[in-house]
Structure 1
Amino acid sequence: MNVILIDDETSIREGLKILLSEEDMTIIGEAASIKEGISLIDERKPELVFLDIQLEDGNSFSLLEQLTFRDFKLVFITAYNQYAIKAFKYNALDYLLKPIDPEELHETLLRIKKQEEKNAMEAQLKRVQENKQLQNLTINTTQRMHILPIEEIMYGQADQGYSTFFMKNGKKVVATKPLKEYAALLPEEVFIRVHQSYLVNQRYIKSYDREGILYLSNEEKIPVSVRKRVAVKKRLSQR
């Protein structure tokens, strides 16, 4: 996520930069005053802002009221806990007291990432329900969000509540959701559920033998479950 830091204490900003670099966050700007902060947010349009409540030129609630761009997530950082109730009236996701505890920061970012993942899945499902063809599949790993071109996904494999997607270029991406959730999103005319543990892009199927094995264009072998064999054979005959 693209992040802006607004705090009039250099040491706080430097500490946050170190902690956020370990969380796969990209700092796209920092400011120490209300005036600088307004210009920075409106110009760079961040996804997440860490905002000190008491800045060198006043209270940062006035900063929020003067912004043109408001489509970002907000986390307040402050040395004064008396502002907590007012902070949440501005739809803040969290309120961190100085000095910032790394564990508390990590928990805050984890909640933000989970919400982003949920939003992405809901948006994709909505598009499918509206019969709009997905071009890309957005997934989250434990580290970051990935946008996978659907036509380059060779197959997905289930693994104890996780999913691994194997790509045309040889890379694999481990997602934090079960395969059945992605199966509901991917186009049925392209992907075949050949096994409880496998979802295959039929464009990469080279052959299918009598033993119930699919051979992909990269020579990988995918098993077809007994109860899926008739349906898979019929589907492949229609290609």
Structure 2
Amino acid sequence: MNNLKKSYVTCLIAIVIAIVITGIAICYFKYSDYDIKSEDDLLKVAQSINSENAERTGQFGENINWYYRKGVMVVNGEGEFDYAYRLEKDNQYDDLRIKVKWLVINEGITKLARASFGGFINLEMVLLPDSMTNLSVYSFRSCFKLKHITIPDNVKVITSGVFAYSGLIDVVIPDNTVRIKDCAFSDCYDLETIVLPDNIERVSRYAFGEGGYELGIVVKITWRGKSYSSTRDFYLDFEKNGGDTAKDED
């Protein structure tokens, strides 16, 4: 009889343990972030996220919807972000600054709003559409974990403070870009290299922060096939070749 009781208790314990382990596994796969290693991985995941399986949804404009699931935010729609949409639900939006690790903005979006993703402190990877023409000021300010980003070819102006305080390591400015405004790359302490297009017309003397023009910041800049070891060296040559370094007034 005692052996029977022991067997029963042992069996019961095993069942309870199995249930607990199963529950943990279900929670892990349901709520843990995706394992994303590359842009291809991110695109595949983004294509699977929609209004039905998203944990959170919202809008950045009348015709622009966003969906969030397990660390990934996907933005669909057409036209420009409307800053007013974020202001109306700012409290609901705040926790996403911590949760979002990966961001995909799909074709049709042309312009971000001011500080759209500023302060997204865990944002690691961003995919922007070819339709994007304007990133707007402070769009990715203080995105400390953002190491790389491909700026769309149709972006002609790198706006003020757009990548300030970000974790960018290397940047290639598109060939169609003609202007980099104040503080675009201010306080990007990890920035090592930046490649500028041959035909860029204006690089604000404050594009790399307060000391970028007069004192110089150590960063490798490539322009017209020539490399410079600091921002000061670049500015000296840029001005000699007719480049505009005036501080922005707009």
Q: Give the structure-1-normalised TM-score.
A: 0.27
Larger strand share, 1 or 2: 1
